[in-house]
Amino acid sequence: TQHRLLLLPGDGIGVEIMAAVRKVIAALETHHGLSFDLGEDQVGGAAIDAYGVPLADDTLALARASDAVLLGAVGGPKWADQPYGNRPEAGLLRLRKELDLFANLRPALCFDALADASSLKRDLVAGLDILFVRELAGGVYFGEPRGIETQDDGSRVGINTQRYTDAEIRRIAVVAFDMAAKRRGRVTSAEKSNVMESGLLWREEVTSLHAASYSHITLDHMLADNCAMQLVKQPKQFDVILTDNLFGDLLSDEAAMLTGSLGMLPSASLGSSGPGLYEPVHGSAPDIAGQGVANPIAAILSLAMALRYSLDEGAAADAVERAVDRVLADGYRTADLAAGGAVDSAKVIGTDGMADA
């Protein structure tokens, strides 16, 4: 099968890391017999320059017709004066919304060669492999009513509403259980059912879905504050962590710092049908854009996630991840990974060099 892949490099280092991803795609075609139908278009500031808007309708149509979309990064000082709603970031938000991407997958993976760069002791993080499944489309960031209201006595109140329907909880839990089935078969569901009604419903729905359809998966419930502690105390106890939008935002950022640099972190956002969106966690890094020094590994690992979750090419995904592990074990580093460490300066390489390696 030919995989239809849309590349949206975007802005800043997005362009450089996507060129690196193309090299990996070419290697998969040459050495692993994969076949891609590659499309490329603009998003973010580059799309404002080309089409006047951060995500054109034609680009959205290309995305819908793809098996997976790979995005670099959007944003930069050049577009700082754009009106709100026509900023580069609005292109990414529109893409997520139009593709109905409600499941955000963020791995916290610690490559052995980088374990000493963690803020925790090597033994705690070496070999760490957690997958966060974060609900992305609901919860307190979107719940109504919301706003800042002035009371009769003149005082003001800021209002947000944490709100989850049973259907929203079940559809994200399905993703978590399905992911766990392909991994180590364990889901930890994190909420605050002790103090929140939405958390109580979350626990009830996850429990009944588990009993009905996923009894082959091990399910634990953990209060989210305890989960935050356990992540630094004994992070290797986790396989898949299932959680809502707010707790997922905080816990996945916490776990990311156990594993090293921003330049290493991939992500995926999935809907119930249609293409997934794969992108590094980092932004367009205007401070280093155009210098050829950006770390392409987050983008390359995002490609690996696309291979695994949208293209059903698990073996190729494994091969990409093994290649990253091997190159790091051989001592090669981009500048962001070399800072402050005992690294052989001859092995500090740029974006292209890392992709070639």
Nearer to ligand NAI, 74 or 175 (CB): 74
- Residue 14 CB burial class (10 angstroms; 0-12, 13-18, ≥19): buried
Site string for ligand NAI, 287-326 (x = CB under 6 A): xx-----xx--x----------------------------
Binding status of residue 267 toward ligand NAI by CB under 6 A: no
80 is in an annotated binding site: yes
Q: Which does 55 bind (CB under 5 to 8 A by kind): Mg ion, ligand NAI, none?
A: none
Q: Which does 292 bind (CB under 5 to 8 A by kind): Mg ion, ligand NAI, none?
A: none
Our answer to whether residue 225 is catalytic in this structure is yes
Binding status of residue 276 toward ligand NAI by CB under 6 A: no
Binding status of residue 355 toward ligand NAI by CB under 6 A: no
**Which candidate in 51, 112, 129, 141 is catalytic?**
141
Our answer to whether residue 192 is catalytic in this structure is yes
Nearer to ligand NAI, 118 or 267 (CB): 267
Which one of 55, 285, 324, 327 is in contact with ligand NAI (CB under 6 A)?
Answer: 285
Q: How far is the CB of 249 from Mg ion (least distance, A)?
A: 4
Query: How many C-beta atoms surround the C-beta of residue 290 within 10 A?
Result: 11
Nearer to Mg ion, 205 or 249 (CB): 249
Our answer to whether residue 253 is catalytic in this structure is yes
Nearer to ligand NAI, 188 or 295 (CB): 295
Which one of 244, 249, 313, 336 is in contact with Mg ion (CB under 5 A)?
Answer: 249
Q: Please work out the total of residues on this chain that contact ligand NAI, with binding judged by CB under 6 A.
A: 21
For residues 305 and 172, the answer to whether their CB atoms sit within 8 Å is: no
For residues 180 and 171, the answer to whether their CB atoms sit within 8 Å is: no
Scanning 118-126, 218-226, 243-251, 276-284 for contacts with ligand NAI by CB under 6 A, the matching segment is: 276-284
Binding status of residue 8 toward ligand NAI by CB under 6 A: no
**Which candidate in 249, 278, 309, 336 is catalytic?**
249
286 is in an annotated binding site: yes
Our answer to whether residue 152 is catalytic in this structure is no
Strand partners, 266: 280
Q: Which residues bind ligand NAI (CB under 6 A)?
A: 13, 73-76, 89, 92, 262-263, 279, 282-288, 294-295, 298, 336
Residues with a catalytic annotation lie at 141, 192, 225, 249, 253
Interface residues with Mg ion (CB under 5 A)?
A: 249, 253
Q: Which residues are annotated binding-site positions for Mg(2+)?
A: 225, 249, 253
